[in-house]
A and B are shown apart, each in its own frame.
Chain A
Amino acid sequence: MIKILEIIGEYFLFLWRVFSRPEKWHEFFKKLIYEMNAMGVGSLLIVSIVAITMGSVITIQTALQIESSWVPTWTVGFTVRTSVIMELCPTIISLLLVGNLGSRITSEIGSMRVTEQIDDLEVMGINSASFLVLPKIIASLIVNPILIVISIFFALLGGYVTVLLTGVVSAFDFIDGLTSFFRMYDVYYALTKTFVFAFVISTVCSFFGYRIEGGALELGEANTKGIVVASFVVLVLNLVITQIML
């Protein structure tokens, strides 16, 4: 228990170092653009594929569950939209990003630690935590919500294409359901979750990469720890935010 508290304390001290003024704004923006490109473009394909299949599956499952003459068929579109916006995309895609972006962040920072590149920055008098991690956090806060919005679009598109191909409900009823009783608050709720999850993914995974002591073996261990802890925190915060906002 003391060990866990020590690590939590270390994490907040790490954040304190990360959130300091960048040494040089030009270098900061250069790194920010690089990170946004690497994170966004690098994750777009996998996010789109997962979103399309998720939208298709949830459409078929919902249509099969409410096969009753008492329930109007537009309910399928409505349920798919609500599930996709409020839970599936923000949470499942964020968990996917823990594996994709999170492991990339831990590996990159961890290998810099192992090969003494971080020590080199410190000897130069550069705040290595801020220099390396802050652009990743800001990039993640910008890119992750965009990825989630794109994934929502693809999930709904996947559902629509499934409806066209399988005919589980009519395309007209599906679109009718998608556009019925739309609440903007659902989108705010989804984006709030995404922002919080983006912060957790980038900071937790950076933290585990930054504190590595040792070599390749420890790098692998840190990667696993980073992914497990970030996933756990994302799931717990999902519950907390849902309780607060709904």
Chain B
Amino acid sequence: MIEVNEVSKYFGEKKVLKHISTVFEEGKVNLIIGRSGSGKTVLMKCLVGLLSPEEGAVLYDGRDFHRLSADAKKMLRSEMGMVFQGAALFDSLTIQENVMFPINMLQKDKSDEEKLERVNLCLKRVDLENANHLYPAELSGGMKKRAAIARAIACNPKYLFCDEPNSGLDPKTALIIDQLIIEITHEYGITTIVNTHDINSVITIGESISFIYEGNMEWRGNKDNVLISDNELLNDFIFAQPLTQKIRDLS
């Protein structure tokens, strides 16, 4: 379980996160939702340690990440996998080498056969076993995201972070990615945190949802009660699109 306690983050004079507190539940897909510029990505960067909050704490099973020693931090990071918005695959490596990379760097005790077996398993899990020899530039957006997921789960992470995994994808491919995320989360018992503003993701994979508005934690719930909330800010966000407005009017 990941607990966020009163986390605040400043950029110069600007307070981007304002005393955010929430809990990301173990073995579930936890969504952080909100409009662009609301602080979702900053919160995720604070969670994985790419940014340090000025106030508050991020607790991984009780361990305060930002106050750990360098070695303990490294150990904790080996339990994390992350899928970046642009996939962040290494351009000079093939897909197989990309997935092999974290195993090579972090699991030094494994034999070459074991490593290759793990890579093939991960690629098969995301349906990319035939693309292992291709370079990232040769892949479509959806394939890149799947390759990034394969790399993120290569070292059997306990925590999986996905920063806007559906951005730039068509609705059908986005659905495939969402499905893959929820399946992997349950299959491996991972605690997954997904940062998104895609309403389809909210209502399909949101087992736990934290809604942020202008750096404040506005609402917490799940996909079952997100559509019937009486929080006006959340409703403004969820029903902003004509399609969702129409569905609400019809129902």
Contacts and interface: CB of A to CB of B under 8 A. Distances in A.
A10 interface: no
Interface string B48-60: 1110000000000
B104 A27 contact: yes
Interface string B95-119: 0000000101110100000000000
B105 A120 contact: no
Contacts of A116: 84-86, 88
A24 interface: yes
B106 A123 contact: no
Given A23-B105, A24-B108, A27-B104, A123 B86 contact: no
Nearest to B75: A125
B216 to A, nearest CB: 25
B10 interface: no
A124 B89 CA distance: 13
A122 interface: yes
Contacts of A117: 88-91
A123 B74 CA distance: 9
A242 to B, nearest CB: 40
B50 A27 contact: no
A119 to B, nearest CB: 6
A119 B90 CA distance: 12
Contacts of B82: 120, 123
Given A119-B50, A120-B82, A126 B88 contact: no
Nearest to B73: A125
Nearest to B161: A123
B93 to A, nearest CB: 10
Interface residues of B, number: 23
B77 A123 contact: yes
Interface string B191-231: 00000000000000000000000000000000000000000
Nearest to A114: B86
A161 to B, nearest CB: 40
B177 interface: no
Given A125-B74, A125-B77, A125-B78, A120 B104 contact: no
B84 A119 contact: yes
Contact of A120 (B74, B88, B91): B88
Contacts of A37: none
Contacts of B106: 124-125
A125 B50 CA distance: 11
B104 A24 contact: yes
Contacts of A24: 104-105, 108
Contact of B84 (A23, A120, A125, A126): A120
B73 to A, nearest CB: 7
A23, A27, A115 — which one has the most chain B CB atoms within 10 A of its CB?
A115
Interface in A80-132: 115-117, 119-120, 122-126
Interface of B: 48-50, 73-75, 77-78, 80, 82, 84-86, 88-91, 102, 104-106, 108, 161
Interface of A: 23-24, 27, 115-117, 119-120, 122-126
Given A117-B91, A122-B50, 4 more contacts: A24-B108, A27-B104, A123-B49, A124-B78
